[in-house]
Every structure is written in C-alpha cells, then in structure tokens.
Chains A and B, each alone.
Chain A
C-alpha cells in the first residue's frame, strides 16, 4: 500500500494553473524526490497534502485512508521555510511541536537537537539563529519523535556544504531504517544522490514519475569515437533502431530505444562498415540531463 496516493489534483491561483491533474503514488519506505523548476508546483502540492491549501479538484490519501489531522500528527514536515516562533528558543519551539503533534518527549527534544548539531544553542532564541541554523531547527522539529514519514520541502536550503552533506546522510540513514522521505527540491544533484524514486513537475503538470533508474533510462546511450568522426556520424545515421545522435567533444552520443541495441551490436556494425572504434562506452544518463531534456520540451 502506498504511503501517499495523489489522485488528479488540480489547483489554481486565479488564472494561474499551479497544478493540473497530477496523480502519482509514493511507495512505503522510499526516498521520493519531487523535482521541478521554480514555480512548477512542488510546494503547492505538498501544501495540499498537508492541508494548508485546498485543491480545486482531485484528492489524496495518506496510508490508504481519507486524510485527517491524525495522519498529519504522524508525519514530520518542513514546508517551504522554517515556521517557528521567533521569540522562543529551540527547546521552547520544539515543546510546541511536541504538544501539538504528540510526537516524542522532553528527552527526544534534546536528542533531535543533538542530531542536527544545535544542542549548544538550544537555549538561544530562534531570531538569533543564522538561516542554516533555522533550517536545522525546522528539520529537528520534523524529526521529533522519529516519525515514519517525513515531508521535507527544500531541506538543504540555506545550509553550508557540511550541513548539506549531513542532511543527505541523515536522509539516507532514515531510508535504511525504513522511513519514507518525501523531498521536494530543485537541486538535481541532491535528488540523484539520495532519492530512489522521483516525480518531475513542469508548470503544474507531471511529466515523469517512477524509480530513478527507470526515469533516467528511458533510452540507452552509447558514446562512440573513431579516427574519422564524420564517417562515423554518417554510418551511424543509418543504424537501425537509432533514435538520435549528438556530437560532443567527448565523442558521438548515440541514443537508442530502451533495449533496442547494445555495445556489442554497434561495435560489430561499425566493424562491418569498415570502421574501427577507438571508444565505445555505455553512458549512464545523469538526472540533470534528463531533467533538462524533459523540462525544455
């Protein structure tokens, strides 16, 4: 059973269509990346499933049930910016989170502050924190009571490189313990490093969704080099099953429909055409390339 089922959600702000008929499921135990450029609807979608925005149509289910406030108590969430009381200290803020959600106890408050390296400043007011420290405290609030599901909207916002690495490590650790992490980000590298599933949004529409490997490898790509690149380009242009080619400084990128070819077959084809390849490399596409490819269409 999916942790979250999103079913045909649409949302408009006046004439602007923020989300259009978005549907997908988030499997239990996954680290699910919600990707999209600024303004693609990531935060709007998370706000809807956390009940701070109302969808114009469509719906969603948490844990296979119609959503209630009881589900939100079980979910640790950081939405958009750290939303905490500026005049209270870290401990005082977390006590409010604890009272409302019912997650954790006084001991857990200190434990999560240790976890995000804020324990030394636990008695400082939130207003005196740097942006990175505020973000750490918001993450601590989400982690309080070790919830089985976490919703993190741009969790590494404002963090320094060490902080970013720590949070990534934390998310990976949560994943190994079986937690479900739903993470919105526009940082592709971040999603690629920590997520096993991904959904890509563009102008409110879902353009790709699935396991990261599946989304990335809709096509096979081989990088080829030969002494005569022009001749190689001409010969490969006639290769059956070729989808497209792209000449780069590294060599000739040849794209094939998934499973339509292999390095062996291409090598043999070139040899039969009287060409000896100096390089043949099955190139794994990076998320960044796929993202730009999808979002630039």
Chain B
C-alpha cells in the first residue's frame, strides 16, 4: 500500500519542474544565509579594531562545532517558507486540475489521498533537513579545523528539532492549502500570517504577559515550533535570562509541536473525508 502511494506521488512530482526549481531555491538559500552570516561574523572578528576583538572574546565562534548545528538551524529556519510554498503548491494543484477527484474516482480512498500528501510532506521535510545538515556540517568543518570529534555531536539534537519544526510548519502550510484550495490566496495568507500577523500577535501577547502572568504568544501556531530552536547563545547572551528560559522550554515545545502536528493531520483527514470534492 505505502509503496503504491509512494510510486504515485513520485510519478506526480518527478516531472514537475516547479517542484524541483523550488527545492533548488531552498537548497541554495540555506548555504546562502548561513554563508553570509558566517563570513560577516568572520570579518567582524578578524578586524583589528577593539570592537572586533571584543566580539571574539564575548561570543566565541557560533559556527564552530558543536554550536554550528544550533546556529545553522536557527538561520535556516527563516527560509522554511520556500518548502512551505512547495507544499501549498502540491495540494492546490490537485484542486486546480481537479485531479484530487480523479484520484478518488480511479480507486483511491479519501484517506489514501491524504496519506499520499502526508508522505510527500514528510519526504520534503527529510530533504530540507538533509540540506540543513550538509550546510551545518560544512560550515562547522570550515570553522573548526581542529574539531574534537567527540564534541561534534553534543548539539546534534538540533537536527531532530529542526526536522520537527519544519514538519510542523509544512503541515500547517498543507492544511492552509487544503482549506483555501486557491494557490495564490493560500500563499498570501501563509506569508502574511507567518511573517506579519503572528509576529504582531506575539508582540501584543508579550506586552500583556506581565498583566496576565502568561505569554500566550508562545502558543501561536508557528511560535509553538519556532521555540524548538531558540536564539543561538551568541545572540542570546544579550538577554541571558530569557534565553535560559527558552532553552528550558524546548522539551515542552517538543510535546506541543507533536500535538499540534497530529491535530493538523487529523483535521486534514477529517476535512477531506467530509467535504464534497
């Protein structure tokens, strides 16, 4: 059954140029953002100025192993919106071409159709995580020529956290595409919500948190998984108390993220089953 679903989804994707193009853009964006940040950092600490030396002394090298896994995950997560566009495209295309109907007419159960998309989103997440892992490893190797191999894996759990964050956010993108059905409206809402509205709400909840005694902003759909990868220590040092709290909350946010992701997929199965196609 799974091999049949995999084969069908592969047949849908393997000759779809837009899919490969966007994956290539993702593949370029990760070394791009991390490379720029790395060279900017190296430039600043290489400077013979007093501030350059101060930065070097205070921050260490955030791109060296094992910190590389954390820093690269944090920077790469800014570009999750590109694979999210791919995921929205995968589901809205089916609605645009009405092939979601044809798949059912030809003999798929409605659940099988959503399983197909679940597997696709999972594979895209794996590919994206692989991009991140390659970038983190290369930058880490460059930044740590004399790396102590035993310490390299100290922060390797960020690989799993990055995977979970991407999978959760791509799952939300999928649900949005399933609900909206029109590609450009879904892209617009996704970008507006994830980049603007949620940040505004997050700021608003932060302001109210002192009065309410709780920051509800931590539980917004994207913020739940954003908090899996807190600010890297070299930035976090500027607000050490908050950073410690954020790192302590990672475990809870793993649970919240898993619950949210499960809810998103259960809702997707339910909507597709109950809705007229």
Contacts and interface: CB of A to CB of B under 8 A. Distances in A.
Given A87-B16, A99-B4, A69 B99 contact: no
A90 to B, nearest CB: 12
B209 interface: no
B106 A101 contact: yes
A52 B276 contact: yes
B276 A77 contact: no
Contacts of A100: 4, 8, 103, 106-108
A52 B97 contact: no
A10 interface: no
B107 A73 contact: yes
Nearest to A44: B276
Interface stretch (A78-86, A182-190, A249-257): A78-86
B104 A99 contact: no
Contact of B106 (A80, A88, A97): A97
A87 B19 CA distance: 11
Interface residues of B, number: 27
Interface residues of A, number: 30
21 contacts: A51-B105, A53-B276, A72-B106, A73-B106, A73-B107, A77-B106, A79-B101, A79-B102, A79-B105, A83-B97, A83-B98, A83-B99, A84-B99, A84-B102, A85-B12, A85-B99, A92-B11, A96-B8, A97-B106, A99-B11, A100-B8
B7 interface: yes
A54 interface: yes
B210 interface: no
B214 interface: no
Interface string B168-182: 000000000000000
B50 interface: no
A51 B104 contact: yes
A70 B1 CA distance: 13
B59 interface: no
A50 interface: yes
B107 A52 contact: no
Those 4 A-B pairs whose CB atoms lie nearest each other, nearest first:
A73-B107, A83-B102, A83-B98, A52-B277
B151 interface: no
Contacts of A52: 101, 104-105, 276-277
A53 B277 contact: yes
Given A69-B104, A81-B98, 7 more contacts: A52-B104, A52-B105, A52-B277, A54-B276, A72-B105, A95-B11, A100-B4
B15 interface: yes
A52 B107 CA distance: 11
A261 to B, nearest CB: 49
A84 B7 CA distance: 17
Contacts of B103: 100
A50 B105 contact: yes
Contacts of B105: 50-52, 72, 77, 79, 83
B17 interface: yes
Nearest to A79: B105
Contacts of A53: 276-277
Contacts of A81: 98
Contacts of A72: 104-107
A236 B105 CA distance: 55
A102 interface: yes
Nearest to B110: A51
B109 A69 contact: yes
